[in-house]
Structure 1
């Protein structure tokens, strides 16, 4: 259980692909203008991450070293094709909005990095867990970034959620600031700015947690020895 807890902590926070590894920033910045766009791409990336990690883990002992990376890319491309076809079938309008960024999941360094760096070296269950947690971490950052840009850029939240969830979500939209529009956050420069704020916030939280742990821990053995030697000299 400690291994799976560590995988969950790494994927969701400590080694988050978007906030720490800074991978997959192209789609992260391009389609995070609203929650529905971010959630759609996040779910597609999650599907590809879990599927590719599981597949790579299953074949890791049967692929020669010379064709390892091309084989991984083909596996990722196959799952991206599945995600693309599923979105075309069930969420066609959202698929049209996301456009080229669904096929471009193939080039997402976070997916190939997890396949080569973790799934190729670990059994099925840890590989699947790693893909799930990394995918959830990436999707969570996408959704938070989309919510920030939609709220402070357009004054709304959860608009057009019916593009992903169907007619049941037609009334989920919330107008927080009526007659509000801040173009900077809607455009790509606003995505860079909001992402930087999220990274700074995470670093600030980590720094405060580290300081809190340092104040709660007893003196280190080196410090204790220094106190004892000082006492002896006196």
Structure 2
């Protein structure tokens, strides 16, 4: 359980592919101008990460080092093709909106990096967990960024959600700021700005947590000395 807790903490926070490793920034910045786009690409990336990690773990003893990376790229490309065809079949409008960024998941360094650094060296269950947590970490940042840019750029939330979830989500749009349009956040420069704010917020939280741990360490050491002294007496 300790290993799975570490994998969850690394994927969601400590080693988040978007905020710490800064991988996959091209789709992260390009399609996060709305919540539906971010959610669609996040789910596709999650599917590819989990599938690729499981497949790489399954064949880790059967692929020679000389063709390891090409084999991993082919596996990732196969899962990306599946995700692309599924989105084209069931969410065609969203597929057309995302465009080239769905096939570009193949070039996402986070996916190839996890396949080579972790899945190729670990059994199936840890590899699947690593892919799931890394995918959730990337998707959560993508969704948060899409929500921020849509809310403060267009004044709405959940706009066009029917493109992903169908007619059930046709009335989900919330207009938070009527007659509002802040073009800077909708355009790519706004994506850089919002991503920088998220990275700064994470670093600030990490700094506060580190200071709290430092304050607790002397107290713990003092309590241990008291217990030892009491034992000697």
State the partner residue of 2:87.
Answer: 87
1:135-214 equivalences in 2 (<5 Å): 135-214=135-214
Task: State the alpha-carbon separation in 1 of the partners of residues 170 and 33 from structure 2.
Answer: 19
Other structure's SS at 1:217 match: helix
Q: Would you say 1:121 and 2:121 are equivalent positions?
A: yes
- Residue 219 of structure 1 and its aligned partner are, at CA, apart by 6.1
Task: State the alpha-carbon separation in 1 of the partners of residues 159 and 115 from structure 2.
Answer: 35
Task: State the alpha-carbon separation in 2 of the partners of residues 218 and 198 from structure 1.
Answer: 32
- Residue 220 of structure 1 and its aligned partner are, at CA, apart by 8.7
State the partner residue of 1:33.
Answer: 33
Deviations 1:140-174 (A, max 9, x none): 00000000000000000011100000000001110
State the partner residue of 2:12.
Answer: 12
Q: Would you say 1:54 and 2:59 are equivalent positions?
A: no
State the partner residue of 1:72.
Answer: 72
Task: State the alpha-carbon separation in 1 of the partners of residues 92 and 82 from structure 2.
Answer: 14
Normalising by structure 2, report the TM-score: 0.94
Other structure's SS at 1:27 match: helix
Task: State the alpha-carbon separation in 2 of the partners of residues 22 and 154 from structure 1.
Answer: 26
Normalising by structure 1, report the TM-score: 0.93
Q: Count residues with an aligned counterpart.
A: 223
Aligned-residue Cα RMSD (Å) equals 1.3
Task: State the alpha-carbon separation in 1 of the partners of residues 73 and 17 from structure 2.
Answer: 19
